[in-house]
Chain A
Amino acid sequence: MGGLYHTLNIGAESLFASRQGVDTAGHNIANAQTEGYSRQRVNLEQRHPSETRGVIIGNGVFVKNITRAHDQFVERQINDTNQSVGHSSARFEGLKAIEGIYSPELNNTLASEIDRFFNSLQDLSNFPEELTARTAVRENAQNVVDSFKRIDSSLKDQREDLNKRIQGETEEVSTMLQEIAKLNVAIKTAETSASPEVSDLLDQQDKILRDLTQKIDVNYYRGEHGMVVVRGPQETLLVDRGFPARFGVTRSLDDAGMNKIIVEDGSSHEPTDITRINKRGRLAGLIEIRDRVLPKLLENNDKMAKTLADEFNAIHRRGYGLKDYNESIGRDFFDFSNEPLNAAATIKIGGFVEESTDAISIASSAHAPGDNVFVNDLLRLKESRIMDGESSTLQEFYSNYVGVFGLDVVRSQQIKEADDTLSKNLNARRESISGVSMDEEAMNLLKWQANFTASSKVITTIDEMLETVLQMKR
């Protein structure tokens, strides 16, 4: 049987444990709104009993450790979903930005400019000798040219913008890798045999990992001393103990100087180019739009510009003009560079026509100001299937490719919403495990407070008993 001091000690430890309970409840309440925080709980344990004079007596309580409420399987699912969420939301945001270029709200879409251009040709057919009709044709042709260029440059701006965002995201990933490595070191240092996990540091690292999984395709596991090992696409080693890989961009020499993403992890001499290998996360979504969606749109716009200009020129070259031009043929109406994929960027009104509207050559015979034979041939272009291996007209081609793009936007929105819902559900599950409930904490406070009061009673009782013992001797 222990002495009074033994009992005093039990009271003191109980007091300490209760205080720790209030402390932890306070910590939980303080972090109730902290992103990534997992609620903590105090784990108490009885001390080993001791035997005194044949009796096993309890030795009170001690705080064994403080752990976090955490489910690593939910965490893993969240991170897996995050990769899809990152991919689909980046894709959706990128497409949504491009959508504006083809917005039906715009009255001056390419389609309506082409309509107006052909209408002005109709007027020219009515009044081939009129200066005003000719000027209108040239002005409207200029608008068509501007529309091609507007689309071309808007798309290229978007591409440049995406390129910058890719660089920004890459830098963020690089910072995250460094943070994770730093936390690895901190976790290893703080770890003791009594409390193998350091909740607050793990919370912070898990939060960064959740952000990281949104960005790129990674997988990770906790290795020795609770340190995390992060692997990227194609088994690149992104974080190994305290060492982050170098993660950055370089400008490629081809592809219009677009950024490539490279990883240097020290395992190979050459940096690994993961631009095309990475299939998940925000970076993959952005790269997909930059390298696949935008080039296709640019190509279609270019195809239209080139076909319109080519077909138009072929007819125009055969015609005679007015006045100074009424005896000569062979003039182009549109000029453009013949390099591949450069027509929309370089298309402009031909030099002769730019100089004088008399050079608009639509007469089938010389000295014939009223001759509109070739205008009618030009007008037929509007309804002829000149696009895509003679399968569609200009307008059909435009509305088709814009329509297909629109469907892509709709589909990407649906995928994003589905991913969001999934991620919301998983986060709700995570919250139900790890989140802080004020009511619960309030009850914890009441509980620990009552415990504290009772423990104090133990101590005051011992105090009174000591008093009694001491008073035995006068």
Chain B
Amino acid sequence: MRVSDRHRYDIANARVNQAKNDNASMLEQLSTQKRINHLSDDPIAAGMSIRRKSQISDAEQFLKNIDFSKGFIDRSEAALSGISDYLIRAKELSVAMANDSYDANSRAATGREVKEIIDGVVSLANSTYGNRYIFGGFRTLTPPVSREGHFMGDDGAIFLQIDENNFRQINLQTRELFEPNAEDRDKGRFGMVSTLEILRQSLETDDVQGIRKAMDELEYQLDKTSSYQATLGSVYNAIEENSKRLEHRRELTQEDLSRLEDADVYKSSSDFKRTESVLQSTLMASNKLLQPSLMNFMQ
């Protein structure tokens, strides 16, 4: 086959160009540390990486939600155990004061302590997390329990997403904690604050019968409070469990994503070296190739 000079130049040109292209794309990989720099580098992996990124961002957000939920639940738990401490103290007082050995004066003095207890319970019932009332249902900006013990919140259940398709209720619907429901009312039960109020009045009026009645009633209120605490505990555990799972999954997805789009640094730097030396030798060979011609030997 005849080899024309143009053809030789064209070949040299094409080879140098190819070597330069390979070298440039390796340089890009090396400097971005990413295997996929253009959609066309690997469209399937690019699509998958969009999905992975979305999953990671979801997991991070769910973890954030869980952190917030935990704070909210911790605050609720602290408030409930405070209330239950107050109720226990009130019960102790009622047990002691029901004893005939105390006189009206000491009962009246205890009544003043019970008044403090009532203030304490109401203030705990109106606990806030950030600037929202935790026991008010959806009415988070107004105090849910009045000084008289009326519940002024609503029955809103606040759900937060802690996983794909997993929403958890993180607040307590506390209407029945503070107010008797219809059935209780039929049985002659009272609300939490009303019970304490009965105790206080009975103490002040030196009414031992009333004190005994309040004692029973307090027992009932304590039971109710601890069952609410138990509910919170189980929600807390479920969320905690889920957060561990999420963190694990986030790690795995991150690894997956890295496998999809990150360049293997050792491989790309050795590839870079390789393409660079290919380029060098192509340039050198082209230089030698284009030199000799019979023209050079004609005198």
User: Which A residues form the contact surface with B (CB < 8 A)?
Assistant: 32-33, 39, 96, 99, 102-105, 109, 111-112, 115-116, 118-119, 122-123, 125-129, 363, 365, 367-373, 376, 379-380, 382-383, 395-396, 398-400, 402-407, 409-410, 413, 424, 427-428, 431-440, 442-443, 445-446
A370 touches B46 (CB 8 A): no
Nearest chain-A residue to B36 (Cβ)? A104
* Residues 1 to 22 of chain B near chain A (Cβ within 8 Å): 1-7, 9-10, 14
B141 touches A122 (CB 8 A): no
Q: Least Cβ distance of B36 to chain A in Å?
A: 6
The answer, among B10, B60, B158, for a CB contact under 8 Å with A431, is B10
Residues of B near A434 (CB, < 8 A) are 4
B293 at interface (Cβ–Cβ under 8 A)? yes
Report the separation of the CA atoms of residues A442 and B294 in the bound assembly, to the nearest whole angstrom. 6
A432 touches B40 (CB 8 A): no
B57 touches A399 (CB 8 A): no
B247 at interface (Cβ–Cβ under 8 A)? no
Q: Which of B130-138, B183-191, B205-213, B223-231 contacts A (4 or more CB under 8 A)?
A: B130-138
Q: Least Cβ distance of B243 to chain A in Å?
A: 15
A99-B40, A438-B294 known; A383+B6 contact, CB < 8 A: no
Report the separation of the CA atoms of residues A431 and B160 in the bound assembly, to the nearest whole angstrom. 73
Residues of B near A122 (CB, < 8 A) are 61-62, 64-65, 161
* Residues 235 to 258 of chain B near chain A (Cβ within 8 Å): none
Q: How does the 8 Å CB contact mask read for B32-75 relative to A, with 1 for contact and 0 for none?
A: 10101111100110111111011001101110110010000000
Residue with the highest number of chain B CB atoms closer than 10 Å, among A96, A119, A126, A383: A126
A436 touches B6 (CB 8 A): yes
The answer, among B6, B39, B160, for a CB contact under 8 Å with A402, is B39
B164 at interface (Cβ–Cβ under 8 A)? yes
A-B contact pairs, 16 of them (CB 8 A): A99-B39, A104-B46, A111-B50, A122-B65, A122-B161, A368-B137, A368-B138, A368-B156, A369-B140, A373-B156, A379-B161, A395-B54, A399-B48, A409-B39, A427-B10, A439-B294
Report the separation of the CA atoms of residues A358 and B155 in the bound assembly, to the nearest whole angstrom. 23
Report the separation of the CA atoms of residues A431 and B60 in the bound assembly, to the nearest whole angstrom. 63
A409-B39, A437-B5 known; A111+B53 contact, CB < 8 A: yes
| Number of interface residues, chain B, beta carbon within 8 A | 58
Report the separation of the CA atoms of residues A388 and B2 in the bound assembly, to the nearest whole angstrom. 60
Q: Least Cβ distance of A313 to chain B in Å?
A: 21
A109-B50, A111-B53, A435-B5 known; A410+B43 contact, CB < 8 A: yes
B154 touches A368 (CB 8 A): yes
Nearest chain-B residue to A29 (Cβ)? B295
A403 touches B3 (CB 8 A): no
B261 touches A104 (CB 8 A): yes
B102 at interface (Cβ–Cβ under 8 A)? no
A370 touches B38 (CB 8 A): no
Report the separation of the CA atoms of residues A368 and B130 in the bound assembly, to the nearest whole angstrom. 17
Q: Least Cβ distance of A129 to chain B in Å?
A: 6
B167 touches A376 (CB 8 A): yes
Nearest chain-B residue to A370 (Cβ)? B140
A369-B138, A402-B46 known; A32+B5 contact, CB < 8 A: yes
The answer, among B44, B58, B160, for a CB contact under 8 Å with A125, is B160
A367 touches B139 (CB 8 A): yes
Residues of A near B62 (CB, < 8 A) are 122
Residues of B near A439 (CB, < 8 A) are 293-295
Residues of A near B284 (CB, < 8 A) are none
B298 at interface (Cβ–Cβ under 8 A)? yes
Residues of B near A125 (CB, < 8 A) are 65, 159-161
Residues of A near B39 (CB, < 8 A) are 99, 102-104, 402, 405-406, 409
A400 touches B65 (CB 8 A): no
The answer, among A129, A373, A424, A431, for a CB contact under 8 Å with B6, is A431
A372 touches B159 (CB 8 A): yes
Residues of A near B101 (CB, < 8 A) are none
Besides A105-B38, A119-B61, A382-B58, 10 new A-B residue pairs in contact (Cβ under 8 A), listed by A number: A99-B40, A104-B39, A104-B46, A115-B54, A373-B156, A402-B43, A402-B50, A406-B47, A432-B2, A436-B4
A368 touches B139 (CB 8 A): yes
B287 at interface (Cβ–Cβ under 8 A)? no
Nearest chain-A residue to B155 (Cβ)? A365
The answer, among A119, A371, A402, A440, for a CB contact under 8 Å with B47, is A402
B43 touches A406 (CB 8 A): yes
Which 4 A-B residue pairs are closest in the complex by CB-CB distance?
Answer: A435-B4, A406-B43, A370-B140, A403-B47
B234 at interface (Cβ–Cβ under 8 A)? no
B58 touches A127 (CB 8 A): no
Residues of A near B38 (CB, < 8 A) are 99, 103-105
Report the separation of the CA atoms of residues A237 and B278 in the bound assembly, to the nearest whole angstrom. 50
A126-B65, A402-B39 known; A432+B53 contact, CB < 8 A: no
A399 touches B5 (CB 8 A): no
A435 touches B65 (CB 8 A): no
A119 touches B57 (CB 8 A): yes
Residues of A near B50 (CB, < 8 A) are 104, 109, 111, 395, 398-399, 402
Q: Least Cβ distance of B174 to chain A in Å?
A: 13
A399 touches B40 (CB 8 A): no
Report the separation of the CA atoms of residues A376 and B44 in the bound assembly, to the nearest whole angstrom. 32
The answer, among A119, A363, A396, A427, for a CB contact under 8 Å with B51, is A396
Residues of B near A111 (CB, < 8 A) are 50, 53-54
Residues of A near B130 (CB, < 8 A) are 127
Residues of B near A443 (CB, < 8 A) are 294
A370-B136, A379-B161 known; A433+B2 contact, CB < 8 A: yes
Residues of B near A103 (CB, < 8 A) are 37-39
Residues of A near B136 (CB, < 8 A) are 370
Residues of A near B167 (CB, < 8 A) are 376
A126 touches B160 (CB 8 A): yes
B5 touches A365 (CB 8 A): no
Residues of B near A112 (CB, < 8 A) are 53-54, 57
Residues of B near A428 (CB, < 8 A) are 7
Q: How does the 8 Å CB contact mask read for B126-158 relative to A, with 1 for contact and 0 for none?
A: 000011100011111100000000000010101
Report the separation of the CA atoms of residues A39 and B9 in the bound assembly, to the nearest whole angstrom. 17
Report the separation of the CA atoms of residues A395 and B53 in the bound assembly, to the nearest whole angstrom. 11
Residues of B near A432 (CB, < 8 A) are 1-4, 7
Residues of B near A126 (CB, < 8 A) are 64-65, 68, 160
The answer, among A371, A399, A409, A437, for a CB contact under 8 Å with B2, is A437
